[in-house]
Amino acid sequence: MDLDALAGCLSSSACLVTQTTSGLIIGMLLFLVAVGLTLIFGVLKVVNFSHGAFYMFGAYFAMTAYQLTGSFALAMLAGAAGTAILGLIFERVFMSRVYGADVLMQLLVCYAFVLIFDDVVRIIWGPEFKAMGMPSAFQVMPLFIAGGVVPPYYLLLIGVALVAAIVLGIGLSRSRIGKVIRAAAHNPGMVSALGINTGLIYGGVFALGGMLAGLAGALAAPVRSLTPGMGFSVLIESFIVTVIGGMGSILGALIGALLLGLIRSFGSLGFPLFTEGLMYLFMVIVLVSKPTGLFGKEAA
């Protein structure tokens, strides 16, 4: 425990800026993965344990597209679009067969695909780790804001994730499609009776969830090494986020992810040997005081 370092940081604007942005970066990437997870659970009532694989595929798709075209924008597009298509196929062909089945069956299907997807990556891209490399446009000196260090690439990353959060929030609450999705989450039988194709909605939501995780993977690819199985550690943290924020709540995922990011960045200063433990401790405190999570709704 090093509370002096933490107190010293909290009283210095340079340190506050650096650590807060560092927390935001960790949090926003985590949000993109966790929000897909929570969205799929909210509408489909399925806990998608294979969600980390979409993050992994997003990163690999982006790397390949970047190697082929040299365009960062196309790399991001390939990461997002590729995983959206993959999500749609996965939901229509496999997951749709286990709706309403035992939770254990859903878990087994998802886990089987975690292993299959990892092996597919191994076969296509090889077992060794890879790096995409930072696009030259972002190979610039970091910005110094109030003495704190902020890399420009991370500003872009936070911006993209924020836009995704806003579009998602407004889209679900204001647009017609958003309303249909929320209605399908609430009462799929009635929505179906009104002549709306619920299968299409389910597929679409899964594709959207996959796309968000894929986008997170694509955004992370320039700074994180790519390996088969890389989705696993992200998945665990995403589950912590959804449990803290409340399963099914988008705002909860955002707040949960940001809190976790800030706990990591400031925790590493004050509690260097207990940073991981702090995350779990926080989750336990939330669960004890509000078992449905910060923004979770009570079961009807």
Partner 1 sequence: MTRTRTPGISRRSTLALMGAGAMTFAAPWVARAQAKTIKIGMPTILSGRVAQLGTSSRNAVMLEVEKVNAAGGLAGRQIEMVIRDSKGQPQEAARVARELVNTDGCELMIDAEASSGAFAVHEVARDLGVFCIHTNSETSALTADPKQHIPNAFRTARQGVHDSIVGGSYAAAIAKAKGLKKWATCSPDYAYGRDTTAEFTLYLKRFAPEVEIISESWPKLFQPDYTEVVTKILQAKPQALYSCLWGGDLTSYIDQANIYAMFGQMEVFAVNMADYTALTVVKNLPKGIHSGNRYIKTFPTTPENAAWGDAYKAKYNEYPTNWSWENATAIMLMAEASKKANSADGKKIAEALKGLTIKCPFGADGTVTMRGDDHTLVGYAIGWGTTIPQEPYVPEVKAGDWKTIFELEAEWKKSKGYT
Q: What residue ranges bind partner 1 (CB under 8 A)?
A: 5, 9, 15, 18-19, 22-23, 25-26, 29, 127-134, 138-139, 141-142, 149, 151, 153-154, 220, 222-225, 227, 229-230, 233-234, 264-265, 267-269, 272-273, 275-276
Residue 19 CB, shortest distance to partner 1, in Å, is: 6
Cβ distance to partner 1 smaller for residue 139 or 197:
139
Task: Tell me how far CA of residue 261 lies from CA of 77, 175, 276, 279, 298, in angstroms.
Answer: 26, 30, 11, 9, 26
Beta bridge partners of 150: 143
What span, in angstroms and rounded, lies between the C-alpha atoms of 253 and 87? 20
What span, in angstroms and rounded, lies between the C-alpha atoms of 52 and 34? 10
Residue 82 CB, shortest distance to partner 1, in Å, is: 20
String of DSSP letters for 255-298: HHHHHHHHHHHHHHHH-TTSHHHHHHHHHHHHHHH-TT-TTPPP
Residue 289 CB, shortest distance to partner 1, in Å, is: 26
Cβ distance to partner 1 smaller for residue 18 or 38:
18
What span, in angstroms and rounded, lies between the C-alpha atoms of 42 and 168? 14
Residue 128 CB, shortest distance to partner 1, in Å, is: 4
Q: How many CB atoms lie within 10 A of CB 107?
A: 14
The set of residues, in sequence order, having a beta carbon less than 8 Å from that of 209 and lying 6+ positions away, is 35, 36, 37, 39, 40, 48, 51, 54, 87
Residue 205 CB, shortest distance to partner 1, in Å, is: 26
Cβ distance to partner 1 smaller for residue 108 or 278:
278
Cβ distance to partner 1 smaller for residue 91 or 237:
237
Structure tokens at 182: 């929320």
Contact 59, 76 (CB under 8 A): no
Cβ distance to partner 1 smaller for residue 209 or 217:
217
Residue 46 CB, shortest distance to partner 1, in Å, is: 25
Structure tokens at 282: 């926080």
Residue 150 CB, shortest distance to partner 1, in Å, is: 9
Cβ distance to partner 1 smaller for residue 260 or 283:
260
Burial group, residue 290, by CB count within 10 angstroms (0-12, 13-18, 19+): middle
Cβ distance to partner 1 smaller for residue 155 or 183:
155
